A and B are shown apart, each in its own frame.
Chain A
Amino acid sequence: MGRAGQIARQVRWYWGTLMGDTHYQRYVEYRRRVHPGEPVPTEREYWKIRHAATENHPGAGCC
């Protein structure tokens, strides 16, 4: 892997994590760690849970 490839991978990782691509993967890891043995919601269900949470706890953007 060249230096350019490494930088491209890091940009991809950063952007994906900032926007939310990796959030489900993180959630799966979290569930396995905190609630081992329990079934893990699917990606579709996970985003429904996430959006329901934002629905009730809105974050303010600024000026």
Chain B
Amino acid sequence: MASPTAAPSNPLEETDGDVTYIRTDPELPPVAVIDRSPITTRHKIIFGIIALLGAVAWAIIAFLRGETVNAVWFVIAAICTYIIGYRFYARLVEMNIVQPRDDEATPAEVFENDTDYMPTDRRVLFGHHFAAIAGAGPLVGPVLAMQMGYLPGAIWIIIGAVFAGCVQDYLVLWVSTRRRGRSLGQMVRDEIGAVGGASAIVAVFVIMVILLAVLALVVVNALAESPWGVFSIAMTIPIAIFMGLYLRFLRPGRVSEVTLIGVVLLLLAVVAGNWVAGTAWGQDWFGLSKVALSWCVVIYGFAASVLPVWFLLAPRDYLSTFMKVGTITLLALGILIARPVVQAPAVSAFAHSGTGPVFAGALFPFLFITIACGALSGFHSLISSGTTPKMLEKQSQMRLIGYGGMLTESFVGIMALVTAAILNQHLYFVLNAPEGKTGGAAESAAAYVNTLPLGGNPITAGQVKQAAAAVGETSIVSRTGGAPTLAIGMSDVLHRAFGGPALQAFWYHFAIMFEALFILTTVDAGTRVARFMLSDALGNLGGPLRKFRNPSWRPGAWACSLIVVALWGSVLLMGVTDPLGGINTLFPLFGIANQLLAAIALTLVSVVVVKKGYLKWLWIPGVPLLWDLTVTLTASWLKIFSADPALGYWSLHRQCQQALDAGKTRCSTAKNVDQVHDVIRNTFIQGTLSIVFAVLVVIVVVTGVIMALRVIRGGGIPLTEDEPVPSRLFAPSGLIPTANEREVQRQWDAQAKSPAKSVGTGAR
């Protein structure tokens, strides 16, 4: 399946029909297999059937009205589109831009040191890459976007992934692999220049802080006043420490063994949580308010950043990886077994009016901002540069890892969309409307959602209470942030597929624990990464600050951790105490930050494409870049300049300031003077952050465009690609090796001493 382009006059080339074998050493078997055979009739028929099935599924999702749509059609539409996208569009990108050369060694092979640079089996690397990019984003975004109905979300998650998200991940991986796995910020500096580079590095740091704050806010909203949830997630800390000690002192290296023990303990903790929540001391200790819980998360983030990694961070990462892969597989099976029916409308009344309670604004641009990670995620560019390229065996595997990894993430987004779409829509808004609107009680919440233009039967307070009791909670009103909604949808699917009604509460808390677990894994690892970014930046200022460059200098580590935690912690506390509901005001900022990071990554890729001379193919990264900039800068513009106080940070800021000056004690949903002050301060911070993001990204894009124009005129900074080194190892390109690749692999296995061995090559 691979189509690396061969050097034209290579004496070590051997062609057999449509297949070319390239050697870099006459003594060794080939290191690259280039298969140019045309598509077979059998494949044509298979892909034709897949395309047809996908088209039928899309038609059912999009045009079936007045009847119920089964959720399985979403899964079919998604998978068929992914297969066609991977086989044809990703191939187009591969043949015209990436042009992989398997006779050249990857950074992993050249710099192999068995710590960060190590050639890793493609299937294993796919798992690593997926575990690194997948998180709460694709789960939460589609749930919140359900406010607009299922159709716009489904279209953007699937089509956006194929043409924008996967392309970004794939091409950033390509650019970084040709530059020893350099990070995004470094590459922007090398290719676009010092100004763009510095802006990119600052933008990445600020965006990281917002990411951490909003993710922590999602966890806090899911766990506040829920002793069961807090107990089970708190237990993950002693369980992780036990695992760390076990690996350090009892049985080093037995990672999957200790992870299985950890997962069993975790399930016991979820079961025990029900019992703990029923006791008086359990209520006392674990029934924490949002503010108290925020402080716990802040302290936890700080501790994880300064404690040794083997003690807490590494074992939590093992648990999180296991739970991610395991639960997502379980959910996919659950949807196929339970085959639930969608209750949401295809397009809701809020899509046009923009007056929905979950987040403000109309479909364009705010749907795209809200879905973020499931379709296009700027944060992935931080993984695709830096970590993954240092483990890649062969350039032709980038399509599987970069493009294929993001397709899987998009599929996670589709499953999240399904779990939100199968909920009763009145219940959905009871969960997701901010407390200022629902009033916090079942009666007032039912009364409020019955005034919304939803259609269907109105909901009663009794039904709201019953829904809470079914999942073992006292209240589900205004559990904003997406995680509780997803958990209710998941418990609905999973109890129907596995275990019946008796297990519904268990599955709800299992789902909450699963989301909180990997959000906290992002929070702890992210705090650490941000700490390193900060100390690096301080160290580069020179003078007495040079000491910060040494990561083992404890005072520096503590000071930088404290600054990072203080930054995201204050945004988190601002969110939990916000009278408007933190998710409503902060989630758009998170989405904008993420999409602006994607704009930086796509700008870098576009500049490299221009420098390589592939002007004809500039549209491949260029169109997603233009779309992303249009969406994100429009959203930023509205957030900064809109005269509607529900939308614009500054107009609400002015409105509340004027109300206060006029001696009023109410403004928007703020009900007393303190709350009015909160709104004035919060909108100031949020408004300032929106301006900072937009300005930084505009600088990067403008410097990128200037650089591209200079290059087209024959000037500009030259490419900084590494000199190619001949490869001395072989590995298949796609997930399943072709017959020719199997034959070459047999030759390598027969070779008495292989010059290089990849992870797990022995077991093939």
B253 touches A59 (CB 8 A): no
Interface residues on B, range: 35 or more
Beta-carbon contacts of A1-33 to B below 8 Å, as 1s and 0s? Answer: 000000001100111111111111011011101
Query: Counting CB contacts under 8 A, is B321 at the interface?
Result: yes
A18 touches B252 (CB 8 A): no
A53 touches B116 (CB 8 A): yes
Interface residue total, chain A, C-beta cutoff 8 A: 40
- B552 CB contacts on chain A under 8 angstroms: 55-56
CB neighbors of A among B357-395 (8 A): 372-373, 377, 379-380, 382-383, 386-387
Beta-carbon contacts of B226-251 to A below 8 Å, as 1s and 0s? Answer: 00000000000000000000011000
CB neighbors of A among B330-379 (8 A): 372-373, 377, 379
CB neighbors of B among A38-63 (8 A): 43-44, 46-51, 53-63
In the bound assembly, the distance between CA atoms of A27 and B478 in angstroms comes to 51
Among A23, A30, A43, A61, the residue within 8 A (CB) of B522 is: A61
Query: Counting CB contacts under 8 A, is B763 at the interface?
Result: yes
Which residue on chain B has the smallest CB distance to residue A28?
B114
B522 touches A50 (CB 8 A): no
In the bound assembly, the distance between CA atoms of A19 and B309 in angstroms comes to 16
A61 touches B128 (CB 8 A): no
- B594 CB contacts on chain A under 8 angstroms: 63
A59 touches B525 (CB 8 A): yes
Which residue on chain B has the smallest CB distance to residue A29?
B757
Query: Counting CB contacts under 8 A, is B255 at the interface?
Result: yes
Main secondary structure of the interface of A (DSSP, over half): helix
Among A16, A30, A47, A49, the residue within 8 A (CB) of B256 is: A16
A13 touches B253 (CB 8 A): no
The smallest beta-carbon distance between B315 and chain A, in angstroms, is 11
In the bound assembly, the distance between CA atoms of A19 and B254 in angstroms comes to 9
B373 touches A63 (CB 8 A): yes
Among B382, B755, B759, the residue within 8 A (CB) of A60 is: B382
In the bound assembly, the distance between CA atoms of A55 and B256 in angstroms comes to 21
In the bound assembly, the distance between CA atoms of A21 and B134 in angstroms comes to 23
A20 touches B255 (CB 8 A): yes
Among A10, A13, A16, A58, the residue within 8 A (CB) of B529 is: A58
Query: Counting CB contacts under 8 A, is B521 at the interface?
Result: yes
- A10 CB contacts on chain B under 8 angstroms: 763
Query: Counting CB contacts under 8 A, is B760 at the interface?
Result: yes
Stretch of B119-127, B286-294, B493-501, B685-693 on the interface side: B119-127
- A47 CB contacts on chain B under 8 angstroms: 247-248, 252-253, 310
B116 touches A63 (CB 8 A): no
A63 touches B379 (CB 8 A): yes
Among B255, B387, B763, the residue within 8 A (CB) of A19 is: B255
Among A15, A23, A59, the residue within 8 A (CB) of B387 is: A59
B116 touches A57 (CB 8 A): yes
Main secondary structure of the interface of B (DSSP, over half): helix
B127 touches A18 (CB 8 A): yes
B763 touches A61 (CB 8 A): no
The smallest beta-carbon distance between B411 and chain A, in angstroms, is 16
Beta-carbon contacts of B112-145 to A below 8 Å, as 1s and 0s? Answer: 1011101001011001100111111100000000
In the bound assembly, the distance between CA atoms of A30 and B377 in angstroms comes to 36
Known contacts A17-B121, A18-B321; A44 and B551 CB within 8 A of each other: no
Query: Counting CB contacts under 8 A, is B66 at the interface?
Result: no
Among A9, A33, A63, the residue within 8 A (CB) of B757 is: A33
Among B112, B373, B551, the residue within 8 A (CB) of A30 is: B112
CB neighbors of A among B710-764 (8 A): 755-757, 759-760, 763
Known contacts A22-B760, A27-B114, A58-B525; A63 and B132 CB within 8 A of each other: no
B124 touches A14 (CB 8 A): yes
B256 touches A21 (CB 8 A): yes
Known contacts A51-B314, A58-B532, A63-B522; A21 and B309 CB within 8 A of each other: no
In the bound assembly, the distance between CA atoms of A29 and B757 in angstroms comes to 8
- B703 CB contacts on chain A under 8 angstroms: none
In the bound assembly, the distance between CA atoms of A27 and B757 in angstroms comes to 10
A61 touches B132 (CB 8 A): yes
Query: Counting CB contacts under 8 A, is B318 at the interface?
Result: yes
Which residue on chain B has the smallest CB distance to residue A20?
B255
- A49 CB contacts on chain B under 8 angstroms: 115
- A27 CB contacts on chain B under 8 angstroms: 114
The smallest beta-carbon distance between A35 and chain B, in angstroms, is 11
A62 touches B255 (CB 8 A): no
Query: Counting CB contacts under 8 A, is B308 at the interface?
Result: yes
Query: Counting CB contacts under 8 A, is B564 at the interface?
Result: no
In the bound assembly, the distance between CA atoms of A59 and B386 in angstroms comes to 8
Query: Counting CB contacts under 8 A, is B526 at the interface?
Result: yes
- B377 CB contacts on chain A under 8 angstroms: 62-63
In the bound assembly, the distance between CA atoms of A57 and B387 in angstroms comes to 10
- B422 CB contacts on chain A under 8 angstroms: none
In the bound assembly, the distance between CA atoms of A15 and B318 in angstroms comes to 11
B757 touches A26 (CB 8 A): yes
- A51 CB contacts on chain B under 8 angstroms: 308-310, 314
- B383 CB contacts on chain A under 8 angstroms: 59-60, 62
The smallest beta-carbon distance between B548 and chain A, in angstroms, is 13
- B215 CB contacts on chain A under 8 angstroms: 63
Among A21, A29, A58, the residue within 8 A (CB) of B528 is: A58
A43 touches B253 (CB 8 A): yes
CB neighbors of A among B501-525 (8 A): 518, 521-522, 525
Which residue on chain A has the smallest CB distance to residue B531?
A58
A61 touches B124 (CB 8 A): no
The smallest beta-carbon distance between B375 and chain A, in angstroms, is 13
In the bound assembly, the distance between CA atoms of A51 and B115 in angstroms comes to 9
Which residue on chain A has the smallest CB distance to residue B218?
A63
- A29 CB contacts on chain B under 8 angstroms: 757
Of the candidates A30, A54, A60, the one having the most CB atoms from chain B within 10 angstroms of its own CB is A60
The smallest beta-carbon distance between B177 and chain A, in angstroms, is 16
- A60 CB contacts on chain B under 8 angstroms: 132, 379, 382-383, 386-387, 525-526, 529
A61 touches B525 (CB 8 A): yes
Of the candidates A10, A19, A50, A57, the one having the most CB atoms from chain B within 10 angstroms of its own CB is A19
The 10 closest A-B pairs by CB, nearest first: A63-B137, A20-B255, A13-B763, A17-B760, A53-B115, A51-B310, A19-B255, A60-B529, A19-B256, A58-B528
| Listed A/B pairs (11) with beta-carbon separation below 8 Å | A16-B256, A17-B760, A17-B763, A18-B124, A18-B128, A51-B309, A57-B116, A62-B137, A62-B377, A63-B136, A63-B522
Q: A20-B255, A54-B314, A59-B387 are in contact. List 10 more A-B contacts (CB 8 A).
A: A14-B127, A14-B760, A26-B114, A29-B757, A33-B755, A51-B309, A54-B309, A57-B115, A57-B116, A60-B382
